């Protein structure tokens, strides 16, 4: 059964719920795809979903429970997942994800991105690498990345030659919605390297000290 708790977690002007399955993760992933969420938006044992998407989840058959019942059912099913800790307090609405898998959004042609990859490999950290130009983030995933981003959302857009070729104005990309719209259409404009812990997303520039700070929970 798919379970969602009330949308009581506020972040950046939106309210969020947790969505889990008390049967298996295959059920949860299939349901998430119906909602337009990609598999990479999964946070170990749940999805964070915005209030407006939660209404559709309920229409599709999800059952509303309170937060304590949701966690109890998750534990009872043996689906409560924990991984190697990233020592940082959650920045977004999630109170379930307390330990996170690292994801590096990587462009191998970028020297800073290569340095971040090398630093992660040298650290022995458990992380996934996403070649975002070959596998661009979906709108739903970009929504989550922007929601978790440390710093100004405008920094997620590269103001490079491609940006200029498209005739874009940086003043138009200071709000989350505009940034997401742009990166859905032009993923090549996403700043890299981007390191996502599941609780926070950080532009890893400069690469080595930023990677070290994220791993240390700073």
Whether 84 maps to a domain, the answer reads: no
Establish whether 110 is a catalytic residue. Answer: yes
Q: What is the pLDDT of residue 37?
A: 76
Cβ–Cβ < 8 Å for 179, 170 = no
47 and 134 assigned to the same domain:
no
Give residue for tokens 């138009």.
172
Backbone CA torsion sign across 162, 168, 170, 172: negative
Average pLDDT, integer, range 177-198: 95
Q: How does pLDDT run across 48-88, given as a tens digit for each residue?
A: 888 888 989 999 999 999 887 888 888 788 787 644 444 43
DSSP label at 138? P
Range of the domain at 135: 102-215
Buried b (16+ CB within 10 A) or exposed e, 96-110: bbbbbbbbbbbbeeb
Cα 210 from Cα 103, distance rounded (Å): 14
Q: Tens digits of per-residue pLDDT, 10-31?
A: 666 778 888 999 998 889 999 9
What CATH number is given to the structural domain containing 179?
3.40.30.10
The residue behind tokens 């719209």 is: 181
Does residue 109 share a domain with residue 6? Answer: no
Same-domain pairing of 58 and 109:
no
* Cβ atoms of 196 and 108 closer than 8 Å: no
Same domain, 132 and 72: no
Contact 173, 179 (CB under 8 A): yes
Residue 35 belongs to a domain = yes
What per-residue confidence (pLDDT) applies to 81?
64
Same domain flag for 168 and 211: yes
3-state helix, strand, coil in the chain (%, to 5): 40, 20, 40
Name the phi and psi angles at 68, rounded to 5: -65, -40
Write the pLDDT tens digit of every residue in 79-92.
Answer: 876 444 444 334 44
Claim to verify: residue 173 and residue 106 sit in the same structural domain: yes
Domain boundary among 76, 93, 113: 76
Q: How many domains does the chain have?
A: 2
Check: CB of residue 202 under 8 Å from CB of residue 210. Answer: yes
Asked if the structure places residue 194 within a domain, the reply is yes
Q: Is residue 21 part of a domain?
A: yes
> What pTM did the predictor assign?
0.57
- In a domain, residue 82? The reply is no
Catalytic residue of the set 110, 125, 130, 213? 110
**pLDDT at site 10:** 65
In a shared domain, residues 108 and 202: yes
């Amino acid at each position: 059964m798919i379970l969602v708790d009330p949308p009581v977690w506020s972040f950046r002007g939106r309210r969020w719920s947790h969505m889990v399955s008390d049967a298996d993760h295959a059920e949860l992933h299939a349901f998430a795809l119906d909602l337009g969420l990609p598999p990479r938006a999964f946070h170990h044992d749940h999805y964070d979903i915005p209030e407006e998407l939660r209404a559709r989840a309920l229409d599709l058959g999800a059952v509303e429970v309170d937060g304590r019942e949701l966690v109890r059912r998750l534990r009872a099913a043996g689906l409560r997942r924990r991984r190697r800790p990233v020592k940082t307090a959650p920045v977004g609405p999630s109170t379930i994800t307390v330990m996170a898998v690292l994801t590096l959004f990587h462009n191998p042609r970028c020297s800073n991105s290569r340095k971040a990859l090398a630093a992660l490999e040298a650290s022995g950290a458990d992380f996934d690498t996403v070649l975002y130009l070959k596998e661009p983030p979906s709108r739903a995933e970009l929504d989550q990345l922007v929601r978790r981003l440390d710093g100004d959302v405008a920094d997620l857009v590269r103001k490079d030659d491609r940006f200029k070729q498209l005739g874009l104005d940086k003043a138009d990309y200071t709000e989350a919605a505009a940034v997401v719209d742009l990166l859905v259409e032009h993923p090549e404009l996403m700043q890299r390297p981007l390191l996502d812990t599941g609780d926070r997303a950080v532009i890893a520039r400069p690469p080595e000290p930023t990677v070290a700070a994220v791993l240390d929970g700073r």
